[in-house]
Chain A
Amino acid sequence: MKYQDISLTWHGDIISQSGEAQYARAILKCLITNGAYINVQHLPPTDPLADLDSFWHKFLEDNKVTDPGYIKINHCNPTQATNNIMNGPNILLAHWNTINFPVSWGNALSNGKFIELWTSNSNAIAPLKQQGINMNTYVLHYPIEAGFANGSKAEITNIKDSTYVFGYTGTYDNRSNPSDLVIAYCTLFNSSNDVALIIKCNNKGDNPNEKKQIIQLIKNIKSTINKPDYPNIILLQDNFTQNAMDSVIRRIDCYVSTSRGNSINITAAKCIANGASAIGSGVGAFMDYALALNSSSILQTSFSLEPVTQVPNSNPADLWCRTDMYNTIAAMKQVYDNKHLSNKDNIHKIESIFSVDTICENMVIKLRTFFSKKITKVL
Chain B
Amino acid sequence: MTKPIRILLVTDSPQLHTGLAETTRLVFNQLLTKYQGKYEIEQLAWFNFSDGPEKVPWKLHRTHVKMNENNQAVPDDTDRYGQRTFEAVLRDIKPDIVWAYGDLWCFDHILNSPSRNTFRLVVYYTIDGTPYSGGFSLPGQKSEWGAKLANADEIVVLTEFGQHVLKGSCPEIKDKDINVIYHPSDVNRFPVFNREEKLVNRKKIYNSQIPNDGFIMGWIGRNQFRKQNHKMWEVLHYVKHGDYIECSTCNRITPKEFDWANSTSFSTAVSIYEEGYDYTYCWYCNSKAIKSGRPISDVYLWMHTPKTDPGWNMDALSNIWDVKEKIILTGSDGQRGLPPRALAELVATWDAMLYLSGGEGFGVPAFEAMQSGVPIIYTNYSSHADFCKYGGLPVRCTFIPQEAHLINRSIADTGDAVSKVLQAYRNPHSISKLGLAGREFTKSKSVEIITDQWDTLFTKLYNKPLSTHGNTKIYSQLA
Contact A157 B150 (CB under 8 A): yes
Partner of B470, one of A153, A232, A241: A241
Q: Is B474 an interface residue (CB 8 A)?
A: yes
Cα separation A152 to B117 with both chains bound (whole Å)? 17
**A154 and B147 in contact, given A208-B87, A212-B114 (Cβ under 8 angstroms):** no
A218 within 8 A of B: yes
Q: Within 8 Å of chain A (Cβ to Cβ): is B18?
A: no
The answer to whether A244 and B114 touch (CB under 8 A), given A157-B151, A237-B477, is no
Shortest beta-carbon distance, A57 to chain B, in Å? 15
The residue on A at minimum CB distance from B116 is A238
Contact with B along A42-76 (1 / 0, CB 8 A): 00000000010000000000000000000000000
Chain B residues with Cβ below 8 Å from A154 are 472-474
Check A208/B476 contact, CB under 8 A, given A238-B115, A240-B117, A244-B467. Answer: no
Contact check, A215 vs B479: say whether CB atoms are below 8 A apart: yes
Chain B hits for A29, CB < 8 A: none
* B74-118 Cβ-contact flags toward A at 8 Å (1 or 0): 000000000000011011000000000000000000000011111
Q: Which residue of B lies closest to A216 (CB)?
A: B479
Residues in chain A near residue B150, CB distance under 8 A: 157
Give a binary string over B450-479; 1 marks a CB under 8 Å from any A CB, 0 the rest: 000000000000000001111111111111
Give chain A nearest CB distance to B465 CB in angstroms: 9
Instruction: Give every chain B residue within 8 A of A314 (Cβ-Cβ).
Output: none
Residues of B within 8 A of A155 (CB): 472-474
Chain A residue with Cβ nearest B118: A238
Q: Interface 1/0s, chain B 50-84, versus A by CB < 8 A?
A: 00000000000000000000000000000000000
Residues on B with C-beta less than 8 A from A94 are none
Residues of B within 8 A of A206 (CB): 91, 115
What residues of B have a CB within 8 angstroms of the CB of A158 in the complex? 147, 476, 478
As a 0/1 sequence over residues 202 to 238 of chain A, the CB contacts with chain B under 8 angstroms (1 = contact) are 0000111001101100100000000000001111111
Per the bound structure, the CA–CA distance linking A315 and B302 in Å amounts to 77
Bound Cα distance A137, B350 (Å): 91
Between B90, B471, B476, the greatest number of chain A beta carbons within 10 A of the residue's beta carbon is seen for: B476
Contact with B along A302-333 (1 / 0, CB 8 A): 00000000000000000000000000000000
| Contacting pair B117 A234 (CB below 8 A) | no
Complex interface residues of chain A between 67 and 99 (CB less than 8 A to chain B): none
Cα distance, A370 to B318, chains bound together (Å): 100
Q: Shortest Cβ distance from B149 into chain A, in angstroms? A: 10
For residue A126, CB closer than 8 A to chain B, the reply is: no
* Contact between chains at A198 and B476 (CB < 8 Å): yes
Q: Is A239 an interface residue (CB 8 A)?
A: yes
Q: Which listed residue (B91, B147, B469, B478) contacts A208, Cβ 8 A?
A: B91
A248 adjacent to chain B (CB < 8 Å): yes
Chain A contacts for B475, CB-based, 8 A: 156-157
Residues of B near A239 (CB, < 8 A) are 118, 468
Please tell me if A159 contacts chain B, counting CB pairs below 8 Å. Answer: yes
Residues of A within 8 A of B472 (CB): 152-155, 247
> Beyond A154-B473, A157-B150, is A244–B478 a contact (Cβ under 8 Å)?
no
Residues of chain B within 8 A of A243, CB atoms compared: 469-470
Q: Which residue of chain B has the shortest Cβ distance to A247 in the bound complex?
A: B472
CB nearest neighbor in A for B151: A157
- In the bound complex, how far is the Cα of B91 from the Cα of A207, in angstroms? 8
Question: In the bound complex, what is the Cα–Cα distance between A157 and B147 (angstroms)?
Answer: 9
Q: How many A-B residue pairs have CB under 8 A?
A: 90
**Min CB–CB distance A56 → chain B (angstroms):** 15
Q: Check B476–A236 contact: CB distance below 8 A.
A: yes
Q: Is the CB of B476 within 8 A of A235?
A: yes
Q: What is the CB-to-nearest-CB distance from B294 to chain A, in angstroms, rounded to a whole number?
A: 61
Q: Which residues of A contact B90 (CB under 8 A)?
A: 208
Q: Whole-angstrom distance between the alpha carbons of A236 and B117 in the complex?
A: 8
Report yes or no: B468 in contact with A244, Cβ–Cβ below 8 A. yes
Give the number of residues in A that approach B within 8 Å (Cβ atoms). Answer: 33
Residues of chain A lying within 8 A (CB to CB) of residue B469 = 51, 241, 243-244
Q: Which residues of A contact B476 (CB under 8 A)?
A: 156-159, 198, 234-236
Q: How far is the CA of A239 from the CA of B94 in the complex (A)?
A: 13
Find the residue from B150, B470, B475 having the highest chain A CB count within 10 A: B470
Tell me, rounded to whole Å, the shortest Cβ–Cβ distance linking A93 to chain B. Answer: 29
Q: Determine if B114 and A211 form an interchain contact, defined as CB atoms under 8 angstroms apart.
A: yes
**Chain A contacts for B474, CB-based, 8 A:** 154-157, 236, 244, 247-248
Q: Given the complex of chains A and B, what is the CA–CA distance between A157 and B117 in angstroms?
A: 11
A174 to B473 CA separation, bound complex (whole angstroms): 30
CB distance from B147 to the nearest CB of A (A): 7
A235 touches B479 (CB 8 A): yes
Do A211 and B115 touch across chains, with their CB atoms under 8 A apart? yes
Query: What is the CB-to-nearest-CB distance from B73 to chain A, in angstroms, rounded to a whole number?
Result: 24
Q: A157-B150, A157-B476 are in contact. Are A235 and B114 (CB under 8 A)?
A: yes
- Bound CA–CA A233/B90 (angstroms): 25
CA distance in complex: A159, B150 (Å): 12
- In the assembled complex, the Cα of A54 lies from the Cα of B141 at a distance in Å of 45
Give the chain B neighbours of A159 by CB distance below 8 A: 476
A235 adjacent to B468 (CB under 8 Å): no
Q: Write out the residue numbers on chain A whose beta carbons fall within 8 Å of the beta carbon of B116.
A: 238
Q: Which residues of B contact A236 (CB under 8 A)?
A: 117, 474, 476-477
Q: Which residues of B contact A152 (CB under 8 A)?
A: 472
Q: Which of B87, B118, B151, B477 contacts A235 (CB 8 A)?
A: B477
Chain A residue, CB-CB nearest to B117: A238
B91–A234 contact, CB under 8 A?
A: no
Which residues of A (224-272) have their CB < 8 Å from a CB of B? 232-241, 243-244, 247-248
Give a binary string over B145-161; 1 marks a CB under 8 Å from any A CB, 0 the rest.
Answer: 00100110000000000
B477–A234 touching, CB < 8 Å: yes
How far, in Å, is B470 (CB) from chain A's closest CB? 4
Q: Which residues of B contact A153 (CB under 8 A)?
A: 472
Q: Report the separation of the CA atoms of residues A198 and B477 in the bound assembly, to the nearest whole angstrom.
A: 10
Which listed residue, B88, B151, B468, B479, touches A238 by the CB 8 Å rule? B468
When the two chains form the complex, which single residue of A208, A232, A241 contacts B114, counting CB atoms closer than 8 Å? A208
Residues on A with beta carbons closer than 8 Å to the beta carbon of B87: 208, 211
Which of B90, B114, B474 gathers most chain A CB within 10 Å? B474
Residues on A with beta carbons closer than 8 Å to the beta carbon of B114: 208, 211-212, 215, 235, 237-238
The answer for the CA separation of A208 and B115 in the assembled complex, in Å, is 8
What separation, in Å, do the CA atoms of A237 and B116 have in the docked complex? 9
| A248 contact set on B, CB distance < 8 A | 474
Cα separation A152 to B472 with both chains bound (whole Å)? 7
Residues 335-363 of chain A, each 1 if its beta carbon lies under 8 Å from chain B, else 0? 00000000000000000000000000000
Q: A233-B478, A236-B476 are in contact. Are A241 and B88 (CB under 8 A)?
A: no
B373 to A: closest C-beta gap in Å: 46
Task: List, in ascending order, chain B residues with CB within 8 A of A238's CB.
Answer: 114-118, 467-468
Using Cβ atoms and an 8 Å threshold, which residues of chain A touch B473? 154-155, 157
In the A-B complex, the 10 residue pairs with the smallest Cβ-Cβ separation, listed nearest first, are A208-B87, A211-B114, A235-B477, A233-B479, A238-B117, A243-B470, A234-B476, A237-B114, A154-B474, A156-B474
Q: List 20 A-B contacts (CB under 8 A).
A: A51-B469, A155-B473, A155-B474, A157-B150, A157-B476, A158-B147, A199-B479, A206-B115, A215-B477, A233-B478, A235-B476, A236-B117, A236-B476, A237-B114, A238-B114, A240-B468, A241-B469, A244-B470, A244-B471, A248-B474
A-to-B contact residues, CB < 8 Å: 51, 152-159, 198-199, 206-208, 211-212, 214-215, 218, 232-241, 243-244, 247-248
Interface contacts beyond A153-B472, A155-B472, A206-B115: sample of 18 additional A-B pairs, CB < 8 Å, sorted by A: A51-B469, A154-B473, A157-B150, A157-B474, A157-B475, A198-B476, A207-B91, A208-B91, A211-B115, A235-B114, A235-B477, A235-B479, A236-B474, A240-B467, A241-B468, A243-B469, A244-B468, A247-B474
